[in-house]
Structure 1
Amino acid sequence: MKVAIYCRLSEEDKDKRHVTDDSESIQNQKSMLIQYATEQGWEIYGIYSDDDYTGADRSRPEFNRLLEDAKHKKFDIVLCKTQSRFTRELELVEKYIHGYFPIWGIRFVSIVDNADTENKGNKKSRQINGLVNEWYLEDMSENIKSVLTDKRKNGYHIGAFALYGYQKDPQQKGHLLIDEEAAEVVREVFTLFSQGYGKTAIAKILNEQGVPNPTEYKRQKGLRYQQPESQNSTLWRYYTISAMLRNEMYIGTMVQGKYGSVSYKTKQNRPRPKETWYRKENTHEAIIDQELWNTVQRMLEEKAKPFATGKTGIFAEKVKCAGCGYHMRSTKTKDRYYLKCATHHIAKDACEGAFISVKALEDAVLSEIHRMSKEYLDIETLEKNLKLDTDIRRQQEQCEKKIETYQKKQQTYQKGISQAYLDRVSGILTEKEYLELTEEFRQGKQQSEKLMESEKKRLTELTERLEKGDERGKRILKYINPEFLTKEIVEELIDHIVVGKKSKETGEIPVEIHWNF
Structure 2
Amino acid sequence: MTVAIYCRLSEEDRNKQTETDDSGSIQNQKSMLIAYAMEQGWDIYHIYSDDDYTGADRKRPEFNHLLEDAQRRKFDIILCKTQSRFTRELELVEKYIHGLFPVWGIRFVSIVDNADTANKGNKKSRQINGLVNEWYLEDMSENIRSVLVNRRKNGFHIGAFSLYGYKKDPEQKGHLLIDEEAAAVVREVFVLFSQGYGKTAIARMLNDRGIPNPTEYKRLHGLRYQQPKRKNSTLWKYFAIADMLTNEMYIGNMIQGKYGSVSYKTKQNRPRPKEEWYKVEGTHEPVIDMELWNKVQSMIAQRAKPFEVGTIGLFARKARCANCGYMMRSSKNRGKHYLQCPNRHVAKDACIGSFISVDKLEQTILAELNRLAAEYLDKDELERNIELCDDLQEQRSRISAAIAVYEKKIAEYTKGIRDLYMDKVRGILSENDFVEYSKSFTDEKERLEHMVADSRRQVSEMDQKMETGDNRRQFIERYTNLEHLNREIVETLIDYISIGKRIPGTKNVPIEIHWNF
Q: TM-score higher than 0.5 here?
A: yes
Relative to 1, partners in 2 of residues 1:266 and 1:451: Cα closer, same or farther, differing over 3 Å? closer
Aligned length: 431
Q: Return the offset for 1:460.
A: 5.9
CA-to-aligned-CA distance 1:377-403 (integer Å, 9 cap, x gap): xxxxxx999779x989x979xx9xxxx
Q: Deviations along 1:100-136, whole A, 9 cap, x unmatched?
A: 2233232322232232333443322222111111122
Q: Which residue does the alignment assign to 2:469?
A: 458
Give 1:93's aligned residue: 93
Quote the residue 1:403 is aligned against: none
User: Do the aligned partners of residues 304 and 108 (structure 1) sit closer, same or farther apart at CA in structure 2, a change above 3 Å counting?
Assistant: same
Counterpart secondary structure, 2:59: coil
SS of equivalent residue, structure 2 residue 469? helix
Residue equivalent to 1:421:
none
Q: Deviations over 1:434-490 (max 9, x none)?
A: xxxxxxxxxxxxxxx999955752376655555x24xx66x74xx7xxxxxxxxx86
Distance 1:163 1:128 in 2: 45
Deviation at 1:334, TM superposition (A): 12
Higher Rg of the two aligned structures = 1
Between the aligned partners of 2:174 and 2:230, the Cα distance in structure 1 is 31
More off after superposition, 316-325 vs 157-166: 316-325
One-letter amino acid of the structure 2 residue matched with residue 127 of structure 1:
Q
How far 1:498 sits from its partner (Å)?
Answer: 6.5
Question: Which shifted more, 289-298 or 200-209?
Answer: 200-209
Who is 2:127 aligned against? Answer: 127
Displacement of 1:89: 1.1
Instruction: Decide which moves more: 70-79 or 17-26.
Output: 17-26
1:262, 1:214 → 2: CA distance? 27
Contact 1:253 1:284 in 2 (8 A): yes
The within-5 A match list for 1:57-456 is 57-220=57-220, 227-304=227-304, 317=317, 320-329=320-329, 340-355=340-355, 361=357, 364=360, 456=467
Structure 2 residue matching 1:343: 3-state secondary structure: helix
Distance 1:3 1:62 in 2: 15
Output the TM-score relative to the length of structure 2. Answer: 0.68
Structure 2 CA distance for partners of 1:61 and 1:242, relative to 1, 3 Å: farther
Would you say the 8 A contact 2:260–2:271 is kept in 1?
yes
* Contact 1:8/1:50 (8 A) holds in 2: yes
Amino acid at match of 1:130: G
User: 1:453/1:150 Cα in 2 relative to 1: closer, same or farther (>3 Å)?
Assistant: closer
AA at the equivalent of 2:129: N
One-letter identity of the residue aligned with 1:111: I
Q: Alpha-carbon deviations, 1:266-301, whole Å to 9, x = none?
A: 222221111111111112222222223222222222
Residues 1:331 and 1:68: Cα distance change in structure 2 (over 3 Å):
same
User: Cα 1:324–1:79, aligned 2, differ >3 Å: closer, same or farther?
Assistant: same
- 1:140–1:298 distance in 2 versus 1, CA, 3 Å: same
Identity %: 66
- The residue aligned with 1:50 is 50
Q: Deviations over 1:28-56 (max 9, x none)?
A: 43344344445545444333232332212
**Quick one: distance in 1 between partners of 2:251 and 2:57?**
36
Mapped partners of 1:183, 1:248: distance in 2:
14
1:251-272 residue CA offsets vs partner (Å, 9 max, x unmatched): 2211122122222222222211
The equivalent residue for 2:433 is: none
Deviation at 1:173, TM superposition (A): 2.6
- SS for the counterpart of 1:109 is strand
User: CA deviation digits over 1:339-389, x for unaligned, max 9?
Assistant: 643233334435322356xxxx367579x59xx9xx9xxxxxxx999779x
Tell me what 2:417 maps to.
Answer: none
Provide Cα deviations, 1:150-201, integer angstroms capped at 9, x if missing partner: 2222222222332333333333332223334433443333333333333333
d(CA) in 2 for partners of 1:49, 1:146 = 32
Q: Distance in 1 between matches of 2:498 and 2:119?
A: 65
The unaligned stretches of length 5 or more in structure 1 are 376-382, 400-448, 480-488
Report deviation, 1:217: 4.3
Contact 2:160 2:224 (8 Å CA) reproduced: no
Please tell me the residue identity of whatever aligns with 2:155: G
Compare 343-352 and 75-84 and name the one that shifted more: 343-352
Q: Report the RMSD for the aligned CA atoms in angstroms.
A: 4.5
The change in CA–CA distance for 1:125 and 1:516 in structure 2 (over 3 A counts) is closer
Change (3 A) 1:451 1:253: closer
SS in 1 for 2:78: strand
